[in-house]
Chain A
Amino acid sequence: MKPASFDYVVPRTVAEAVQALAGPGRTAQVLAGGQSLILEMHLQRIRPRLVVDINRIPELDGMRVDGDGLRVGALVRHAAFERADAVPGPLGTLLSRAVVNIAHPPIRSRGTMAGSFGWAHPASEWCAIGVALDATVEVTGPDGERALPARDYFLGPHRTARRPQELITAVRLPLLGGHTGVGFVEHRRTHFCFAQVAVAAALTVHDGVISDVRIGLVNSADRPVRARAAEQTLLGTEIGPLPTGRRLPDGHPFARAGRVAAQEDAAPVAEPYADAEYKRQAVAVLVGRTLREAATDLGSRLAVRQGDPR
């Protein structure tokens, strides 16, 4: 099918865009990258009366480090995060490890990070990273600007705290400090599929003890999940030497955190080829693997800092 007809406007400022979205009695859609929206319009699952194309609003483009955070404008494409040094520190590494799982280069050249937050698909990599790291979604509406914490933002599949007249102008992510290692592991059937389950982790260690840990679960519930119960089991734990071998021993703290994430944090929704039990098992395994990847990343960061050529 082809998209049904709609009116199309191309505002040049955020104020113009908000004005267009606030028009009376119209179902309006914001078009940024359009890589999900235009597909849904093909299928006519979404039939907007008005499409507001924000691609020509210069103030929405670009990302910048702002204090202890990264502000990602609404027009920053996924591809901008492919280089680990595009964003300073471990956050840049985490985003670069996650982004290669988002579709493929011709989609990543159009799709945007802020658009992923707007679309709020449970299998979105960015959204799970957002809830894990306490991101903030900045919106502008007829009543002015609001900053929505990611933990209160996602309400269900494609449902968010953004009001229909509000435009997402940016997503803010906190930069990660020097004692933090990161990991991202995704499991899917083929290269062309969405994640069945994926996990993002940021692990902070001081003097051999885990002082902070963030775990985000992708497609493990009807919305992105921060695995707080699993995080709790790790705080204050001595990290010790990493186990060798492919499989984590069952008694290892990372394996235990994985089981807790699967049982207490995840609320999997059954899908074809992945029922809820399968997803719980995948969560348990992937959380352990991602934590191990984060610990390895931290080890190599510390080695570089100490001039150890390892």
Chain B
Amino acid sequence: MKITLEVNGTAHTLDVEPRRLLADVLRDDLGLTGTHLGCEHGICGACSVLMDGEAVRACLVLAVQCDGSSLRTVEGLAGPDGEPHPLQRAFSAEHALQCGFCTPGFLMVAAGALEADPDLADKPDAVAGVVGSNICRCTGYEPIRRAITRAAREQREASSTHER
């Protein structure tokens, strides 16, 4: 089946079997191996990407379902000049990763939450919802919570400076 995906701002026309998962098409057909596949059961969240701005499990969405959709993967987070995304800087500053396998998934769920809610920094329950969405076996989650909160705070400060 012929589909068109916009991935990180670039349009791709692909011919995929309906049985193929979004995660496999991103990794195998488009070479975007930053999206990791852990459990393939929708539990671990390592494969999370943004589909039309909302975080989804790329292992629980068929690629054909995304025909005409706009997708963002971890490769699309950094700026055009390679400048890391505020979340990536915060993850580094707070030591929110160790082996790094789960990191792309956490970054994308957090990016979706941050874009949907500019006041995420004031909502510890919402941050906990993001942190509780995925599995990390290294950090114990607390550094990830701190990193997301830090990025949310920085984003808001940056936007309020901009408004002044």
Which chain A residues have a beta carbon within 8 Å of chain B's beta carbons? Answer: 2-8, 31, 34-35, 38-39, 42, 51, 53, 55, 100, 103-107, 109-110, 191-192
- Within B54-92, the residues touching A (CB, 8 Å) are 54-57, 59-62, 64-65
Which chain B residues have a beta carbon within 8 Å of chain A's beta carbons? Answer: 1, 17-21, 24, 40-43, 45, 48, 54-57, 59-62, 64-65, 109, 112-113, 129-130, 132-135
Q: Is the interface of A mostly helix, strand, loop or mixed?
A: loop
Which of A8, A34, A104 lies in contact with B60, CB distance below 8 A?
Answer: A34
> Contact between A35 and B19 (Cβ–Cβ < 8 Å)?
no
Chain A residues, CB < 8 A from B17 = 5
> Contact between A2 and B19 (Cβ–Cβ < 8 Å)?
yes
The 5 closest A-B pairs by CB, nearest first: A8-B18, A104-B133, A106-B55, A109-B54, A3-B19
> Contact between A191 and B132 (Cβ–Cβ < 8 Å)?
yes
* Complex CA distance for A104 and B134, rounded to whole angstroms: 9
Chain A residues, CB < 8 A from B60 = 34-35, 38-39, 107, 110
Chain A residues, CB < 8 A from B1 = 8
Chain B residues, CB < 8 A from A35 = 42, 57, 60
* Complex CA distance for A38 and B133, rounded to whole angstroms: 18
CB of A304 to closest CB in B, whole Å = 22
CB of A102 to closest CB in B, whole Å = 12
CB of A2 to closest CB in B, whole Å = 7
> Contact between B18 and A105 (Cβ–Cβ < 8 Å)?
no
Chain A residues, CB < 8 A from B59 = 38, 42
Chain A residues, CB < 8 A from B55 = 105-106, 109
> Contact between A8 and B64 (Cβ–Cβ < 8 Å)?
yes
What 18 additional pairs, Cβ within 8 angstroms, besides A8-B64, A31-B62, A105-B109? A2-B24, A34-B61, A35-B57, A38-B61, A42-B59, A103-B42, A104-B45, A104-B129, A104-B132, A105-B130, A105-B133, A106-B56, A106-B57, A106-B133, A109-B54, A109-B56, A110-B56, A110-B61
* Complex CA distance for A105 and B109, rounded to whole angstroms: 8
